[in-house]
């Protein structure tokens, strides 16, 4: 059962966070129930463009469920989700992805028996050979698209320093490398909003920093990111604002520094 909690507004996170800034994603009174279990209860958040928004909270807070509802992997029990001004609540996950909302998963979800390069190519849109008819028309029909996408994928592999692994099966990668493949795979869709579900969990500390670097670089290029993560020092470094969830509800939001001043939040999670 959810507890009655008051949302603690820790104040504007930065001077840039002005009311005029139009959110890229708006979740309004979103709930997700599983046969009586209220995993997410009446959550409303705004995700502002060009920022990394952090979503933190203790285990079982409903963060990953909420992310899955945002991405369409799970349907919302109630509430609305608006992406770039369009109501996407009724859209299935694949349509939301095509509109530019792409997610990664809490557990490694690589395409194990595909190579790393194929993992990236499998995610790429706009390939004429990616339909039954296109496939039957033969290689000549889709070769130009394929070559272009191979090149796009190789640029990403180079950027993420994974070129040497291009032809390895994704199943043979380390946990951290699989995370990088998932992020690169999502980037192949050229998303506008990246939903990252604990990309640093179970990852070697050196790759944790690397993932944070990539996230910041992507943000600087204009990508909007919503990240669920337990690595609080990385959240503090990257995110503005940070949203705190507990027992299915939002209990506060603001900068990490401001959140640390809120006793309810500190009790619920930050020292918890």
Instruction: Report helix, strand or coil for 89.
Output: coil
Burial 139-150 (b: 16+ CB within 10 A, else e): eeebeebbeebe
Peptide bond into 155 cis (omega under 30): no
By CB under 8 A, is residue 77 in contact with another protein? Answer: no
Indicate which single residue of 9, 147, 158, 213 sits in contact with another protein (rule: CB under 8 A).
147
Min dist. Cβ of residue 165 to another protein (A): 12
Binding span for another protein by CB under 8 A among 46-54, 105-113, 242-250, 254-262: 105-113
Instruction: Report helix, strand or coil for 27.
Output: strand
Instruction: CB nearer to another protein: give 69 or 251.
Output: 69
Q: Are 63 and 55 in contact (CB under 8 A)?
A: yes
User: Rounded CA gap, 40 and 249, in Å?
Assistant: 6
Indicate which single residue of 51, 103, 165, 179 sits in contact with another protein (rule: CB under 8 A).
103
By CB under 8 A, is residue 175 in contact with another protein? Answer: no
Structure tokens at 136: 């039957």
**Total binding residues toward another protein, as defined by CB under 8 A:** 53
By CB under 8 A, is residue 202 in contact with another protein? Answer: no
Distance of CA 268 to the CA centre of its chain: 24
Structure tokens at 43: 């959550």
Binding span for another protein by CB under 8 A among 21-29, 39-47, 132-140, 227-235: 132-140
Interface residues toward another protein, by CB under 8 A: 71-73, 92-94, 97-98, 102-103, 105, 109-115, 117-119, 121-123, 125-127, 129-132, 134-136, 138-139, 142, 144-148, 150-152, 166-167, 169, 185-186, 188-190
């Amino acid at each position: 059962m959810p507890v009655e909690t008051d949302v603690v507004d820790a104040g504007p996170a930065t001077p840039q966070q002005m009311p005029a800034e139009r959110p890229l994603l708006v979740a309004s009174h979103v709930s997700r129930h599983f046969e009586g279990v209220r995993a997410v209860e009446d959550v409303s958040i705004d995700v502002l463009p060009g920022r990394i928004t952090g979503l933190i909270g203790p285990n079982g807070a409903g963060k990953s469920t909420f992310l899955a509802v945002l991405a369409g992997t799970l349907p919302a029990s109630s509430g609305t989700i608006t992406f770039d001004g369009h109501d996407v609540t009724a859209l299935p996950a694949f349509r939301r992805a095509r509109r530019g909302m792409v997610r990664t998963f809490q557990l490694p979800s690589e395409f194990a028996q595909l190579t790393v390069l194929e993992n990236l190519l499998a995610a790429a849109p706009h390939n004429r050979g990616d339909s039954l008819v296109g496939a039957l028309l033969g290689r000549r029909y889709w070769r130009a698209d394929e070559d272009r996408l191979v090149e796009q994928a190789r640029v990403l592999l180079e950027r993420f320093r994974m070129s040497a692994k291009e032809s390895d099966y994704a199943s043979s990668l380390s946990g951290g490398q699989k995370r990088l493949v998932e992020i690169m795979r999502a980037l192949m869709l050229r998303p506008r909003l990246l939903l990252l579900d604990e990309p640093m969990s179970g990852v070697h500390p050196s790759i944790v920093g690397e993932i944070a670097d990539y996230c910041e670089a992507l943000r600087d290029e204009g990508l909007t990111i919503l990240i669920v993560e337990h690595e609080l020092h990385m959240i503090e470094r990257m995110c503005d604002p940070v949203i705190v969830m507990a027992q299915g509800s939002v209990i506060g939001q603001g900068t990490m520094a401001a959140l640390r001043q809120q006793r309810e939040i500190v009790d619920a999670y930050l020292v918890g």
